[in-house]
Chains A and B, each alone.
Chain A
Amino acid sequence: MSENIGMFGASGSGDTSGFGGLVRSAANFGSSERPYGSYFDEVADELERAYPEFSDAIEKVIVDRGELTLHVKREKLFETAMKLRDTQSLRFEVCLGVNGVHYPEDKDRELHAVYPLLSMTHNRRIRLEVSVPDSDPHLPSLVEVWAGNNWHERETWDMFGIIFDGHPGLTRILMPDDWPGHPQRKDYPLGGIPIEYKGATVPAPSERRSYR
């Protein structure tokens, strides 16, 4: 994540607050150590047992705020998903969609896709996270595994430009078909209409001076 300097978002304006020298870098989460707590150890153990390539597929395991996140390599995403769905002791039969997150500062891992999984059988939740570089934003589609991911993957393509290989019809879903760009990316400004009042203008929200 990014490093923020100063207290306000906009630069170039006079800083009278005295907080201009403030440097704040966001926390970088390392892999969590065992025991993970809760049912997370069991899930990890079962997945390891069912999936021999586990250590190769999983980049890191993060336990934070009572939630388990498995960072998966994209080449292994499909296999991992199949194992998570089909293994008797795991049975993550519901995928609650895909959500993209754009981290422009995270070199070669700019685009993240996050899959919240739910096992109704065991009443457990975990999360899969995959990252792809902006220059090669390809991910395997999981529509074959969870058919309900169809629209969610279209939305993530629409909003972030992640291409899901093997999707049955990867078209825009929320934006018009001929829309240029992917609005939820951080390099896409919010826009807005500059309003002029007696010669002065009110800038768009993304350009306003604001707290970080």
Chain B
Amino acid sequence: MTTHDAYASATDTTEGRVYSVTGGDWDSLVTEIGQTKEERVVVNMGPQHPSTHGVLRLVLELEGETITEARAGIGYLHTGIEKNTEYRTWTQGVTFVTRMDYLAPIFNETAYCLGVEKLLGITNDIPERASEIRVLMMELNRISSHMVALGTGALELGALSPMIFAFREREKVLDVFEMVSGLRMNMAYVRPGGVAQDLPKGAVAKIRETVKELRHNFKDNEKLLVGNTIWMMRTKGIGYLDLAGCITLGITGPVLRSAGMPWDLRKTDPYCGYENYEFDVVTTDTCDVYGRFLIRMQELEQSLRIIEQACDKLEKSEGQPVMVADKKIAWPSQLSVGSDGIGNSLEHIREIMGTSMESLIHHFKLVTEGFRVPAGQVYAAVESPRGETGVHLVSDGGTRPYRVHFREPSFNNLQATSAMAEGGMIADVIGAVASIDPVMGGVDR
């Protein structure tokens, strides 16, 4: 083998001869590799790979089909959101952070807003209706996020139908988001002090209908997967991580609950009035992919329960404010959803342009300058579909954040890849990563 091969070139390194395979003529490569005694293969899975759940790069060292070392390479989706927020007002920050974990935008927004409200010291002044809407939107979002986790997780293990069903249900939730906020994703709907606007007329009735449909349709996936022999063979005992491993790695969310720990911030450290809702924290003690799958399946039902209770509360609080009363903080601009999408409320435009100079000044000052946040630092956290989404905010007393840091559960939990995959088969690493459900937008921020 003296001719140059563009696809499979060999280089001599201090650790011996290394063959890099990027495609091309396998026969000639196999012949050459067959002459060496050692059989150690390093496979780069990703960053462009259909099974790695986004632009995740897995560096797998193999001995035959057994993984001896697994490392995750991240950063391919780093967009500098945290840095960017330092150059925008506190309110504008919402539009940035909603794009971090793009499958759970409402959770990012809520965590961020809870942090800003804590810094402002207005946590107790948030109107109840605003908190109810937040809870409603978060639980809907949990469903849409879990649907992607289940659908793509099954897809990656070779089951196509669950994906079709899961995305069908997710569409229904996104329709609700569109009706409420005007946008299907990255809504920037939760704002410091409350939410951007009240629910449109007839929203609660529509949501109740959706809940009914979802509850009925969830059975499709349940029938397909729960107890399915092939599915269980691919997921049972796979991606094992016990409680001690979870704790030392700081794992939260379904992965922690699959190790039997009933840790859920909605119960242990309630926010947005979660203490007023009845729901169960789902756990299993199997520590494996199947357990995490079951947890997500059952959390869907718990979310539906919370949504129904939120609907009851919202019917009672009809007409109450959804933004904090303090005019120095409350966003003055009003939006309305028209036939052509979301836009400025004509009534508000009429007021500031036609009737009240003071309203115009007030609008201008708050929108361009923003409000000042007293100096200090806080940490606020919510239970996102993937675990604890924490936000650490530092203010220097100005109109813009001094530092915004997100403690992303995806980022933290992805560290468990090595622990879950090493010693297992190469085919199982896919299931293990899918059960962590990392969203690379959140991992890389």
> Interface on A for B, CB 8 Å cutoff?
1-2, 4, 24, 26-27, 29, 64-67, 69, 93-97, 99, 101-102, 114, 116, 120, 123, 125, 127, 146-152, 155, 172-176, 183-184, 190, 205-206, 208, 210-212
B370 & A211 in contact (Cβ 8 Å cutoff): yes
Q: At the interface, yes or no: B396 with Cβ under 8 Å from chain A? A: yes
Kindly identify which residue among B119, B121, B248, B374 contacts A147, using a CB–CB cutoff of 8 Å: B248
Interface residues as binary, B374-387 with A (CB distance below 8 Å gives 1, 0 otherwise): 11111101000000
Among residues 399 to 418 in chain B, which have CB atoms less than 8 Å away from a CB atom of chain A?
Answer: 399-400, 402-403, 405, 407, 411-412, 414-415
Taking CB atoms, residues of chain A closer than 8 Å to B399 are 211-212
B78 is contacted by which of A27, A29, A101, A174 (Cβ under 8 Å)?
A174
Supposing A1-B396, A151-B411 touch, asked if A94 and B250 sit within 8 A by C-beta, the answer is: yes
Contact A174 B118 (CB under 8 A): no
The reply to whether B396 and A190 form a contact with Cβ atoms under 8 Å apart is no
| A64:B379 contact, CB within 8 angstroms | no
Cβ contact within 8 Å between B415 and A190: no
CB A101 to nearest CB in B, in angstroms, measures 5
Q: Is the CB of B121 within 8 A of A148?
A: no
Q: Does B369 contact A (CB under 8 A)?
A: yes
For B407, give its contact among A116, A125, A175, A210 (CB under 8 Å). Answer: A116
B169 at the interface (CB under 8 A from A): no
Query: Interface residues of B toward A: which range?
Result: 35 or more
> What's the nearest-Cβ distance from chain A to residue B54, in Å?
15
Say yes or no: A114 contacts B83, CB within 8 Å: no
> Chain A's interface: helix, strand, loop or mixed, by majority?
loop
Beta-carbon contact of A67 and B403 below 8 Å? no
> Does residue B360 face the partner (Cβ distance < 8 Å to A)?
no
For B244, give the chain A residue with the smallest CB separation. A93
Q: Is the CB of B397 within 8 A of A65?
A: no
21 contacts between A and B (CB under 8 A): A26-B375, A27-B374, A95-B250, A96-B390, A99-B403, A101-B394, A102-B403, A120-B268, A146-B250, A148-B250, A155-B411, A174-B74, A174-B75, A184-B82, A190-B83, A190-B87, A205-B87, A210-B400, A211-B370, A211-B398, A211-B399
